[in-house]
Amino acid sequence: MVWLYSNLARLNLPHPEAVFEINFFRRNPVPFYTLAAELYPGSFRPTPTHSFVKLLSIHNLLHMCFTQNIDTLERRAGISAEKIVEAHGSFATQRCIDCRTPFDDDEMRDIVLGERAPGQEVGIPRCKKEECGGLVKPDIVFFGEALPDRFIKEIPAIGQADLLLIIGTSLTVHPFASLAGMADRSCHRVLINLERVGDIGRRPGDIVLLGECDAIVRELCTALGWAEELKKAWEETAMTTPDSTGEEKEEKEEEVLEKEIDKITDAIGKQLELAEGLKHGSANESSAAVEGKKTSDMEASSEEASGSKL
């Protein structure tokens, strides 16, 4: 996400995080839906680490998987939704931000991923209730919104665990980051990460495994006798990539990810430039026709979206 924000920083937004702020979304949903079209479920593949968590579930060792990810990759890896707590929500469902009415999955996908003519803005889904017509957004938690009720409800499960795996996280976003500290003192906490984070390693039962998560997971599976199971589980998540296997697939996926991020930021930039152009073009036409005439709804909303500060 830091990589994404650094790319968004060059765009004409109040600040990069604005694309995930509910107040900014209400004024201008275009940047978010330009981003959503590229990050929508199906664009990326689960990692071997996701498949490892699936194996834990298959072997009846997984009580609950808490995740900050919004990309539904845990679901795509085959982990049951009942075993997943998406602390920041996900793209799996969506609803109106005003009346909270759920929105159809297939229609949402068609609007977000629908083909557009060059220069045409992304589709913006709206509530189907005639008396509402509010903006629809995926059930991901924006800045300024409360965390899901299920996250709060399932937190006590941390205190019941006898083993807590903490994988691939900076432990800087609260309250999620505080979950590791809620484990009982008798619980063995295992950190699998590129670097030490939080207070993991300070308790007698803590274990710290530093390195690439996928590499460590493969070593663990080899030690457990699950190497073939992991290989098979991860192969089942493969996206359509003809004539490529193993390391070639991983390298191609990294290249695709980098290109997608660049494409996202370029697309958002073009959408904002288009909105700015429409604003100035409409304003000039309006002033030439009738001096002092009130601006149209399109001009007013466009100006508010591009010029307002949070």
**Catalytic (active-site) positions:** 88
Return d(Cα 307, Cα 310) in angstroms, integer. Answer: 10
- Residue by residue, DSSP assigns the chain as -HHHHHHHTTSSSSSGGGGGBHHHHHH--HHHHHHHHHHSTTSSPPPHHHHHHHHHHHTT--S-EEE---S-HHHHTT--GGGEEETTEEEEEEEETTT--B--HHHHHHHHH----TTPPPP--B-S-TTT--BEEEEEPPBTSPPPHHHHHHTHHHHH-SEEEEES----STTGGGGGGGS-TTSEEEEEESS--TTTTSSTT-EEEES-HHHHHHHHHHHHT-HHHHHHHHHTT----TT--HHHHHHHHHHHHHHHHHHHHHHHHHHHHHHHHHHHHHHHHHHHHSTTPPPPHHHHHHHHHHH---
Nearest to 268 by CA among 305, 303, 304, 298: 305
Nearest to 5 by CA among 16, 19, 18, 20: 16
The length of the chain in residues reads: 310
Return d(Cα 3, Cα 162) in angstroms, integer. Answer: 34
Return d(Cα 28, Cα 7) in angstroms, integer. Answer: 19
